[in-house]
A and B are shown apart, each in its own frame.
Chain A
C-alpha cells in the first residue's frame, strides 16, 4: 500500500481551489510511473493511453479521465483536517462495510487496484463506455470476501487505525504537504522534484482508479452490505455516459451531493504543529516564527518579516526549481513592491507565461502532468512569499484547468502557445476588460455634486473616478486612508495630479466626514458567496459607518475575484502582515513608544491585512456582469464557475480530497442526468 495515502491527511492545504484542479491529471501517467516497491503492475502498460482519445470528445473524456485521479491521495488528505469535510460527511457508512479493517484490506485493495487502475481508466474511457460489469466480476472476489464479514464498527477502527500505522511506517519519509512534493523521494532520491511528483501522481492515479472500480465491484457484488439500488445504478448510468458526455458543457446544476463537494477545501491551519513542521521542511523560503505571536491568530502563519529576503536574494541565481520570472515576482510580493489583487494576479500570470515559454517537457513525461506539477511548485513558492489572494487562487485554478484540458494530440509547442494565449486572454478579459465594464457601469452612479468616498487605493475605483472626471462630472472625492500601508496617499496624489478635488482623512475620522458623503465606492479583494466582501482591512469599518449614515456603499469587484467560499468574520481566514510597521509610524518621528516592542513580554502587535464586510452593509456590487446586490453573488459564482469548463473538474478535485476513504470505500459511479445530460462522476452512493 502506498504510504503516501496517509500522509496528506495530516496536512491542510491553504489554497484549495487550484489544488483540486491540479490533481486530476489523466491516468496515462501510470505508464511512466515508477515501479511500485510493493507491487509491479504489468497491466498498467497494457492499458490504452488516454492520448489516443479522439479529440472531438475530449471534453467528456477529460471528465472521465480526471475522475480516477481525483482519488489521488495527496489531494484527498488535505481536506481531512477540516471539520466540515470530514470524510464521514462524504463517505458515510453504507459502503464502508465493504472495507476490511486494518492494513490487510488496504493492502489487498491497494494492490488490487493498482493492478487494475491503469486498465480501467485508460482503456475504458476512450471507448466512451465502461465495461464495468466485467471489471466487477474480476474485482469482486478479492474484495467481497472481507466485505461481507465486516461491520461498521470495524470500519471505524479502520479509518482510525490505518493512519497511525502508516504514519509510523513512513516516518522519515518526505512529508506530504502543501507543496505537493513527491512522497517517493526516499526510494528515488535522484529524480528531480517534478519527476518524482509526476511518478507519484501516476501511481496514485492508477491506484485510485483501480480502487474505485474495485469498490464499485464490491459494492455490486456484496450488495447485501451496500445499498442495492445504488449499486445497480452505476452500470446503467455508464451506458449512457458516452452519449451524455458531449453535452456536458451545456451545464446543469449538479445533484445535491455533488454540490456538497463543491465547497472549498479548508485552508492550512498553522496552529497544527505537525503540519507546520512538514510544511517547513519543504519550504523554499525559510521563515522564522515571530516571537510575540497573537494567540487568536495561531492558525495563520506568523513569521518574522524581513528575514527571508536577503537569503532569497542571495539564492536568486542558483535556485533551480523555480523559474527566474516566478522567483522575481515572489520577491516582489515579499517586499510588497507589487500589491493589490489585480496587480499581483497579473504579475503572477505574466511570470507563469514566461515560465511556460521556457518550459520543456522532460523525457518520458507528459506536458499536462508535468506542467501542472511545475505550476503547483511555483504556486507553493509564491505562497511562501506571501499568501495568495483569492483572485490569484482563481487565476491559478483557471490555468491548471487549461493545462489539464489541453487536447492531448497537441504538440508541445502548440500546447504552450495555447496556454500562453489562454493566460493572455484571462488577463485581458477577466481583468482588464472587466475593469472597463465595471467603470462603464459605475460611472452611471456618479452625478454632479456628489461627494464620493473611497478607502485605500483600489484600481477599479481609481479608474471609475478618473473616468467620471473625464466625462466632466463635477464631484468631490474623499480619500480615507489607514495605517500602516497608507496606500490612500498614492491614490490621492494621482487624483490630485489629474485635477480632481479631494479631501483626505484617516479612518478614525470617517464618521466625521461621512456627513457630507453621498456615495461610498470600495474595492474588494474578493467577494464571497454569502455576499461578504473580503477586502483590505478597514473596508468593513467604512461600510459600517456609511450604512449607519445611510450612505449607499458600492463595491467594485471583477467577477474573477468571486469565490464560493463563505466567511462570517475576519478571524478564521486572514493574512497577517509585518507587525513592525505598526510600531513605526511613517512620517511621525514623535511616535516611537513601541520601539523594541518585541522584547516586551505580554505585548503583541497585530497587523491584519483583510477584513470581511457583512453583506448587509453593501448596497450594490459592480462587476463585469453588471450591478448586482450582494445576495446575487452566489448566482454569479455559480454561473461564472460554470462558464469556465473547469467548474466541473472542480468536483473531481474535491473528490481527490477524500480519496483515502475513496480508495477504500468509494463507489464511483457515473451518473447521467436525464435532461441536458451532464455527465458527472460522483461518489454519491456511500
Chain B
C-alpha cells in the first residue's frame, strides 16, 4: 500500500514551509540515486526518457490521468523495445525491467495511480503473452507435466530471480478465472500441435533455437499489445461516450463538477443524439476547471449554467443525474476524484440523485484504499486560496500565538456506497463489481510493483 505522509503546507513559519514544499514537489535530488540503482542493461536514450518522465511526474507537470497513462505506456513500450532480452526467461527479464522502471515512476508520483495501473497492465500483458506463447509451444510439444517441471527447473537455474514463481503463476494466478479467459484458454491449449518446435531430445540446441524465435515473438507480441493499450487509452472516452444515450434522457438536468474530457465527450455525445438537456457545472475551486468545461459545453450548444461549488446542495434537488470524471477508481469501488466530489456525492445521495462516474479502464486501480483522503491525496500550494501578501502582516502581529494553516487538497475520496454507477469503456458496472473488472486487467503478482529487498520476484 502506498503510504506517503504529506506534510501540510502552512504559512506559519512560512519560508521554511515553502522551502519544504518546494523540495517536496520539485526535489530532484534522488534522481541521481535512481540512476545508480538503475542497474539494468539499457540503452542510454531510454534512461534519459525515463529520467525526463520522472522529473515531470515529480514536478507534477503532467496533468490528468489519461495523459499520464499514455505517457507511461509509451515509455514502457520503449523500455521494452530497448531491453536486451536473454535467450531464456525473456519474460522474466522483461518483467524485471518494467518493474524496475515502474517502481521509480510510481515513487515519483504515488498519488497518480494511473502510472501504477499502466505499469501493472504492461506487466500483465507480458505475462499473458508469455503464457500464450508457452501454452502454444507446450501444446506443440505435447509434453507431460514432468517436462513442464523440468522446464521450470531449468529456468530457475538460469535466472537469478526465481522464474519458478512466474511460471507457476502462469497456470494458476496469471489468468484470472473469468469465464471468458477460460473459454479462450480451452481452444488454445487444445489447439492443433504447433509445428514450430519438435520433441526435445537434444535439449540444448533445439530448445535454444526454439527460444530464440520465442524471444523475438514475445517482444513483438508485447509491444503490439502495449500499442493496443495506448490505443485504448487514447480512445477510451469515445467508447464511454457511445453509452451516453443510454443514460441521458430528454429534458434532464445534469450536474458535474470541475472539468473532465470524458465528461465533456459524454455529454456532447448525448447532445449529438438530439437529446436536449441542461447542464449545471460547479466550478471546482480552487482550479476552476468548471469554467473551461462550461465554456466548451456552451460552445457545443448545450444549455449550461455555472454555479459555485457551495450551491451544489441547493441545486441538487433539481438535478436528475450527477455525472463526473474520476482521478482513479479503487478496487473496492471507491473513487479518488477531484476535490469537492465527496460533497457532491453526499448531496446526491441525500436527494437520491444517481451519481455516475465515468472512468476509462486505465483509471482502474487494483489497490484497496486505506485512509485515502490523506494517503492518496496531495496538498497544493496555499497561494491558490490565499494571497500570502495579504496575510503576512497579520501573521507578524499575531504575537506568536496565532497560526495560520492553509489546507488545499487536490483529491477527494468518494466511498463506493455513494456511487451509483461506473461507466467504463467496457460498459456500466456497479461499484461492487469493480474488483472483478480489475482482475481482468491485472495479474495478482503485480499488485505490489516494488521489488523485494532480497532477490526473488
Q: Which residues does A use to contact B, with CB under 8 Å? A: 294-296, 481-484, 489, 492-493, 495-513, 515, 537-538, 540-541, 544-545, 548, 569-571, 574, 582-583, 585, 587-588, 591, 593-594, 597, 600-608, 610-612, 614
Contact = CB atoms under 8 A, between A and B. Distances in A.
A437 B345 CA distance: 37
Contacts of A500: 402
B36 to A, nearest CB: 37
Mostly helix, strand, loop or mixed at chain B's interface? Answer: mixed
Top 4 closest pairs, chain A to chain B, by CB: A538-B310, A508-B340, A570-B314, A603-B298
10 contacts: A294-B305, A482-B308, A504-B405, A508-B343, A510-B343, A511-B412, A540-B314, A582-B283, A591-B288, A611-B313
Nearest to A501: B403
A603 B309 contact: no
A507 B310 contact: yes
Mostly helix, strand, loop or mixed at chain A's interface? Answer: mixed
Interface stretch (B190-198, B327-335, B390-398, B422-430): B390-398
B23 interface: no
Contact of A502 (B302, B307, B374, B402): B402
B402 A497 contact: yes
B402 A545 contact: no
Nearest to B307: A606
Contact of A508 (B309, B386, B405): B309
Nearest to B295: A593
Contact of B407 (A513, A538, A582): A513
B153 interface: no
Interface residues of B, number: 63
B313 A544 contact: yes
A484 to B, nearest CB: 6
A551 to B, nearest CB: 13
A18 B412 CA distance: 46
A603 B296 CA distance: 10
B304 A484 contact: no
Given A585-B288, A591-B288, A499 B306 contact: no
A296 B283 CA distance: 18
A511 B343 contact: yes
Given A499-B402, A600-B299, A511 B291 contact: no
B373 A512 contact: yes
A484 B285 CA distance: 10
A597 B294 CA distance: 10
A501 B294 CA distance: 38
Interface in B101-123: none
Contacts of B311: 537-538, 570, 606, 608, 611
Contacts of A504: 385-386, 404-407
Contacts of A498: 402
A499 B404 CA distance: 10
Nearest to A594: B291
A482 B309 contact: yes
Contacts of B278: 295
B60 interface: no
Contacts of B342: 511, 545
B402 A541 contact: no
Contact of A505 (B288, B304, B407): B407
A612 B385 CA distance: 26
Given A508-B340, A574-B314, A593 B288 contact: yes
A296 B386 CA distance: 33
Given A294-B305, A570-B314, A482 B403 contact: no
Nearest to B405: A503
A319 B304 CA distance: 41
A35 B409 CA distance: 72
B284 interface: yes
A483 B285 contact: yes
Nearest to A506: B285
B292 to A, nearest CB: 5
Contacts of A548: 346
Given A493-B391, A507-B285, A483 B309 contact: yes
A607 B315 CA distance: 11
Nearest to A613: B313
Contacts of A544: 313, 343, 346-347, 350
A594 B343 contact: no
Given A493-B394, A515-B373, A593-B288, A505 B408 contact: yes
B404 A594 contact: no
B384 interface: yes
Given A483-B285, A509-B339, A583-B291, A594 B346 contact: no
Interface string B316-342: 011000000000000000000001101
Contacts of B374: 515
Nearest to B313: A540
B361 interface: no
Given A511-B342, A512-B339, A541 B295 contact: no
A580 to B, nearest CB: 11
A123 to B, nearest CB: 54
B314 A571 contact: yes
B434 to A, nearest CB: 21
Nearest to A479: B404
A601 B404 CA distance: 43
Given A538-B311, A606-B307, A505 B385 contact: yes
